[in-house]
Every structure is written in C-alpha cells, then in structure tokens.
Chains A and B, each alone.
Chain A
Amino acid sequence: METLDARQLLCPLPVIRVQDRVKTMQPGETLEVTCTDPGTRHDIPAWCRIHGHRIINCWDENTEIVFRLEVGA
C-alpha cells in the first residue's frame, strides 16, 4: 500500500496530489491519503467516482481525515 501526506493542503491541492500519484499506480493497488482540509471529504470521493476508483474506507484521526482508495482500471 502506498501512502500520501496531503496535510495542510487546501483543496484542490489534495485532489491534485492524489490524481498525480494514482497516475503512477496500477489497477488494484491501494493508496492511503491523509488530509486536514474538510473539503476533501467531498472532493476526494467525487474525484474517485468520476475516474472509476473506489474509496475502500474513510475515517477521522483527531483533526486528520484519512482515505484508503483502490485504483480502478
């Protein structure tokens, strides 16, 4: 599993970082992203839906929001 630190970034930068990382990954691989901008709660799942990736799980850790996603085909 790959990880990505998108803390302290405001949207859409976390989405751009995810987009750029996913481009380097293979279908079926997973990426765990840590964010602090509450806007990511909407934007990262929306970006995943649009591009055919899947949010496996999303949870809060204190002030951080963590997404685990699976790269689609």
Chain B
Amino acid sequence: MSTIEHQTLIAVAEDVNQGRSSALEIAEQHLERIERIDSKINAFVDVDRDQTLHSARAVDNAIAKGQRNLPLAGVPISIKDLIAVQNRPLRAGSKILGDYRPAHDATVVSKLKAAGAVIIGKVSLDEFAMGSTNESASSGPVRNPWSLDSVPGGSSGGSAAAVSAKMGLASLGTDTGGSVRLPAAFCGAVGVKPTYGRVSRSGVVAYASSLDQVGPITLNVRDAARLLSAIAGPCDHDSTSVDQPIDDWALACEQRIESMRFGVVVDWLERLQPSVADAVNQAAQALCDAGAQRVDITLEHDHLAVPAYYVIAMSEASTNLARYDGVRYGRRAQLEAGASLDQLYARSRAEGFGPEVRRRIILGTWALSSGYYDAYYDRACRVRRLVRDELTAALSHVDVLLGPTAPRTAWKIGDTQMDPLTTYQMDIFTTAANLAGLPAMSLPWGRDDQGLPIGVQLHAGPWREANLFQWGTALEAAAPSLEALPKSARDLREINCD
C-alpha cells in the first residue's frame, strides 16, 4: 500500500481491484489522518468510523468474490454536507435542519457506492452553500491547509480542504456560482462544474435549482475525469437531468491539443492580483508551446453576469428555502402558549437561518415581489440570455476559454474588508458558466508570493466536458508543481498535516 502523500484515486482503485491493497487498509489510513489533523482544519462535520470500515470490508468482499473493474474500488471520498447520505446527519451547514437524517442516499452517493467508493465522511460548507469563504458554516470556519489562517474558499470549502490535506482522495461538492471551482483554486485542487443536467440533483439540498450542479474535487485532472464518469448520467428522480452521451473522458485526457484553438477573454486579465495574471499568461503560453493557437476574445455583457447571477440565485433560494418551516423536519422555535402558526414559521426561520442566508432570502423575496419583479428578476433573466448566448457563441469558435478562476488568492479568515458585497464580486469569473449551464474546470497553476495556490479556469461548450479534460491534462503537464516550489506552503502543510 502506498503512502497517502503519493496516492491518486486511479492508482488506489487499480490497486484495490487487483488485490494489491485492501479497501479496509486504505480507509483506516485516511480515517487515522482525519483523526490526527482535522482538528486543525475543521473540514469534517461527520465521520462514522464503523460505517466507513463496514463499507470498505464490503468492497473487499466483493473483490474477493471476483468483482473486478470497480472504477472507484476502495477510494475514500468525502461528501459535502449538502448531499444526502442515508441515515447520516444532513445539516447543510445550518442550525435549521437540526438532527435531520435523510431516508435515502442522493443519486450521486448511490452511484459512488455502486462504483466501489467508500464514503469517509461529510464535510463542511457555507450555510446552504451561500458563501465564498466557508466562514458561515454553523460548525465554524474551515482552514486552508496551505495557510491555516486563510479561508479555503467556498462554498465547498470543506471538500477542497479535505482533498488538499489528503483526508480522502476526492470529494463531491456543489457549484451554483463557483462553489466547486473557487475552493479548488484556493486549496490547490482540481474542481469541475459539469454541464447543467449532466449530474442528478436528486438528494441534493436545493439552493438555486436552475444553477446547481454536483461536481468532483480531486488532486489531478485524470482523477476528476474518473469521478465525474461515475456520477454522470440521467436520473428518474431529477427531471432536469439529461440523457446525453457520456464521452470517454479518460481517453480525452490522453489526446493532444496541437493545432487546436483556445480563447482568452482579454477583459478577464484586467484587475487581477499580479501573480494571478502572471499565472494565466504563463498557462496561455504553455498551451501555445504545446502547439495550440490562441484567439483573443471580447465579451460585451460578461461584466453583468455576477449581478444577474445574484438576483436569480437569491430569488430561487427564497422559494427553495421556504420548505424549512420547523414543522416537518428540523429545528422548531420554543413558543409561548397561544402563538400562531405564522409565528412558529417566522420565529423558527429567524432562529434557524444564519445572517447571510436571511439576507439572501429577504433580498430574493423582495426581487420577486410585486412592483420589483420586472425590474429585477425578469431583467436578470433577460441578461442571463445575453450572457449565455455570448459565451456559447465564443465557444463555437474555440475548444475552450482559458482564464482565472478568481481575481485573487485566498484571503485571511475574518478579513473585515471582505464584506458581503466585496465577497460577491469574487465570483466574477465563475458565475457565467452557471447562468449558461456550461461546463468549467479550475486547476492549480503554482502559488503566489505568500505560498497560496492560484487557480486557472477552463470553460467549454455544452456537453463538452471532454474538452475540459483534454486541455486540463495539457495544462496540468505544464503547470509549476505545487509541491516542488520552494518555501512556506509545502512546509506548513507538512508541519501541520503530517
């Protein structure tokens, strides 16, 4: 069995399938690491050692009986606590769900189990996935493994921090406006948001239903391709999932990009932290050095994606979160005798939701209310079409667009300059993919002068995840190694995590 530091998802699955490692040993190794280091990172909100070991033994038994070629055999995977795992607490980073335990697995969790994966625990997130820092989780902030006083990004911050610190070999996050890609960028991981409809949302707590997608977070592109292959596909329980052909994404990872074209949106290179701009320029040069052709692109309406996104996301959230009423499940306020049903709802929701969730529900309700609907929600949906059409048109001329994932690297936990409005604007490069329903990927490109990882991002046309994996592998081959770089981050991570 290899040491955790050198494990990859694909190699572990191969070793377990061939009997060179056991799922049980791998699970014990990762559980031991969680016990040892997670008190410093705070990524996990639920670890059930007995259940994890039981699942691992079941995988080993299946293999002993002749089962082979399980694509995720014995791979320990954490699950964002927005996704249902049967009979395990599901809190969505909120107090309002109390001790809710779902009766079923989410479809993606069923698919992981069928593929031989071992669920190693549930991981933290911003409350109801509303945030970019993982500071609003009811279980407290998650720390970035590369710099423990910095945020891991959000909202899938627990997922990215866990993967980066090698507590599990992969994680499932969700991405409504960048919530897989941003934390992947901040933690030096690979994060993929699939095409809308590629992955079932059944069993996933809804934030903004027309934007949400589940996506993998891993330490390399090939692992992400393997994991996405295992969870993709239509689902009878999600009428927005789509039966589209699933390409051989492992094969896509091996295809060359020579004489193919990629786009760079020139506006995206403005107002970036200098080291992020350098990273994108170096990545573009690396693609050219590999024989690809660069095409500079201008998008007229791209700057409107973030405000349109926030109107739509908050509006959809205000209706989706109406279900938390303190009656059918979750936390109920203690009321004086004679209190009305309306008071029960209003008090339970006031006590159960945190400040950012209350803010978004109230603003979303306002944007949908009489007198403001046309000026805000309806207008945002029209701008959404402009953004979608423009981005899709650009992607009809090139295979992928290359740009930054975020304008900067991770900031400090509790940074008072990062007020809600400033934080919303950190989503400037990620929300367009959600508005348009397009696939996108963040992958690491070195670190800044503080030792913090930098993410670069690829966008592709609808259902063309293969392009992300093809170009992502090319970038990964050329990227500065996170581990080989000098100075603080690697040392810090090893000191704190080993």
Decide if A and B are genuine partners.
Answer: no
